[in-house]
Amino acid sequence: MHFLSVLGASRPAYLEQTLQSLRACYELDRWSCIVMLDDAGHEADQCERIAALMGFGVERFPVRMGCNAATIETLRMAWADPSVQFVCHVEDDTPLCRDALVYMREMAARYREDRDVFTVSAYQRVPLAGLSSCYRRRWFTPWVWGTWRDRWEEMAAKFGPEPSWDWQVNHAMRGDRCEIAPTVSLSRNIGAEGGTHVPSAVWHREHQYVQTTSDDVPLDGQGWPEVAEPAWLSEEHYAMLGQRAETFRKAFDE
């Protein structure tokens, strides 16, 4: 079974856009889905009403968890049913493109037995090539992502309270394994305001905003064949982040 988990809390306007995008996705009916809400007072009340009106199942944490703990617990709940073999996780500020769930299902089947692949990402900030292509990126990106039960079991055994959950996945759990990413994004990050790790709207536009997604260009029906990772991405991106990643790994291991 394929399961879709959505986490929201205090940003009802963002959550509404994300749930609207989900309702427009092809093959949504082939996924089980739950919307989890952190307890953020009246904003969470608004989120609960929005999700219910759109027809999504909604559950709410009884106390305020915070982003890190709420994400980890939402993932644990998504995997509670032993028949679930692949989970796609969505944050409240990450709308999906229409074909995102088709892509996730295809990648889940294609790379399930490939031990070099740790996760599947729907996000690509800068378009790299043709629409229906994917590539291996030695990274973890949290803006609509999925993984398999065996990889999740690795994560679940290692999660700690701090630092951020996605840094734990990327720098302490992933090792040298990759994520599969599309060459044209199948998700957006719209969280310019109210985010845990977003200092300003200007910073968000420079680092997380996606100008072009697969919704902006015609589908070509090629089924996302794998292409080589662009050399400039390997050399410049990883060189810039490598030192920070190594510092994180040492701190986590200690």
CATH number at residue 184: 3.90.550.10
pTM given for the model: 0.88
Please state the domain count of the chain: 1
Residue 19's nearest CA partner among 40, 48, 43, 39 is 48
Pairing outcome for strands 117-121 and 178-182: parallel
Give residue 124's domain range. Answer: 2-253
What does each of the 254 residues of the chain score in pLDDT, given as a tens digit?
A: 999 999 999 899 999 999 999 999 999 999 999 999 998 788 999 999 999 999 999 999 999 999 899 999 999 999 999 999 999 999 999 999 999 999 999 999 999 999 999 999 999 998 886 667 999 999 999 999 999 999 999 999 999 876 689 999 999 999 999 999 999 999 999 865 666 666 676 766 677 788 889 998 866 667 788 988 766 555 545 544 444 444 444 444 44
Pairing outcome for strands 32-37 and 58-60: parallel
Sign of CA dihedral 132, 169, 75, 154: positive
41 three-state secondary structure: coil
